[in-house]
Structure 1
């Protein structure tokens, strides 16, 4: 039943979208509860008193926090549906490693390009971001998705790249991604965004551009 599964998120958070995508891939009914992060609801603060952040998945009244943890919970709870993680222990460990790499290394390196002040500083920050993308490109050799033929755990962790990189490029007026240099990742981005479970939940691009333009202006004018 839909009332057994609720997800607290906002319209644009890539972390919340991971959960929506996973639930749709597995065919699980759920209720979206959209949060205004400038005025967080008492329910969100009750369910996530430690970090006070989205996303939070509530299943049968029990909250689970942190997007990668939630993805594993979904996979273990609904085992009879499309798996997100491999069964093989080594492959599962590698999937966890690369998902954590995305959150701990890749995302901060791309975000630092966005937050740096001035064109030259941004170009300098782009170097480690490109190195991290090269690591990701290597993992796609011989595969359609990171887990093989179907979208899985690492694909969901990396999903933000597929729809945000070109938004960042427009806002920054700076080339962040060269499809010729990253042909495998470029192909993955198209395959990922074309998947029905993903495509129907992608945030409106014009709203994303407006949102990140405001963010960028804020960073550029900060002391």
Structure 2
């Protein structure tokens, strides 16, 4: 690719919205430079290229920014229209696809949904899918691309919502597995929440009850000490404190109050956050929830 046609993607890998753009670029067979962003200390380039929202993803093409995940997907589809079309050419079908992509944004990613609301939304999408292999018909398209990043959250839905996606929404699960057979999808999605948060950080596929039980055990170990290591911040504190970024997610999805369920852990976390080494290293709770989950 010529230097003046270079593509640069400002992104954060766990973001479902960045995943949309990665999939679109892969579908078109386009090479690009990925530049990971620190969402706490945003780069001057990100602030320059997206001064309004200051958010990722931002695709830079010929030195000009394109912001917003589905706006970017549409741009990619229009500029490189010769390969793997994502939107139908028929105006009515294009409008139909955009309607459902908007539905996905507002109902799947755009709400702090309860289990009931989430399942209802997926049921409506199953009706739209019908017996088609993809939402667009016989080929992977715009609506499929808008929704498939939420696959990374299926394990989280099941763990915190105490549900089985394959039982509640079998057509959506079959559709997701079909999408995952595409290399452009499987190599673009992130399993951060399922693998890193639930398994690596906590070591369990924790239900709400199990999660609270684990924190209660840690509260017993903490006792009246300021830190788990005693009088000073140490190894165990360091191993646990990154989960503070997930507290808002636990509360939102698990319908619980960490301060009520685990007051000592919350006090301990606030004590740790007084350390600059901690406060400057963690992802804030709302950012974690917005970009990693929704």
Match of 1:117 in 2: none
State the Cα deviation string for residues 4-52 of structure 1 (Å, max 9, x = none): 1111000100000100011001101111010010110000000000000
SS at match of 2:129: coil
State the Cα deviation string for residues 93-126 of structure 1 (Å, max 9, x = none): 01101111111122234xx25xxxxxxxxxxx22
Quick check: 89-98 or 153-162, which moved more? Answer: 153-162
State the Cα deviation string for residues 119-168 of structure 1 (Å, max 9, x = none): xxxxxx22222211111001111211111222211111101222212134
The answer on 1:153 being equivalent to 2:142 is yes
Match of 2:155 in 1: 166
1:106-185 alignment to 2 at 5 Å? Answer: 106-109=108-111, 112-113=112-113, 125-170=114-159, 172=160, 174-185=161-172
Match of 2:176 in 1: 189
For the 8 Å contact 2:16–2:149, the answer to whether it is kept is yes
Quick check: 80-89 or 142-151, which moved more? Answer: 142-151
Match of 1:9 in 2: 11
Gaps in structure 2 of 5+ consecutive residues: 203-241, 252-256, 261-294
Match of 1:120 in 2: none
1:75-94 alignment to 2 at 5 Å? Answer: 75-94=77-96
Q: Which of 200, 217, 220 is the matching residue for 2:247? A: 217
For the 8 Å contact 2:119–2:168, the answer to whether it is kept is no
Q: Which of 83, 95, 98 is the matching residue for 1:96? A: 98
Match of 1:51 in 2: 53
Gaps in structure 1 of 5+ consecutive residues: 114-124
TM-score of the superposed pair, with normalisation by structure 1: 0.85
For the 8 Å contact 1:10–1:34, the answer to whether it is kept is yes
TM-align CA RMSD: 2.2
Distance 2:68 2:62 in 1: 18
For the 8 Å contact 2:16–2:150, the answer to whether it is kept is no
Quick check: 159-168 or 140-149, which moved more? Answer: 159-168
Count of aligned pairs: 208
State the Cα deviation string for residues 52-83 of structure 1 (Å, max 9, x = none): 00000000101000001001100000011110
For the 8 Å contact 2:119–2:169, the answer to whether it is kept is no
TM-score of the superposed pair, with normalisation by structure 2: 0.65
The answer on 1:200 being equivalent to 2:187 is yes
Give 1:85 deviation, angstroms.
Answer: 0.3
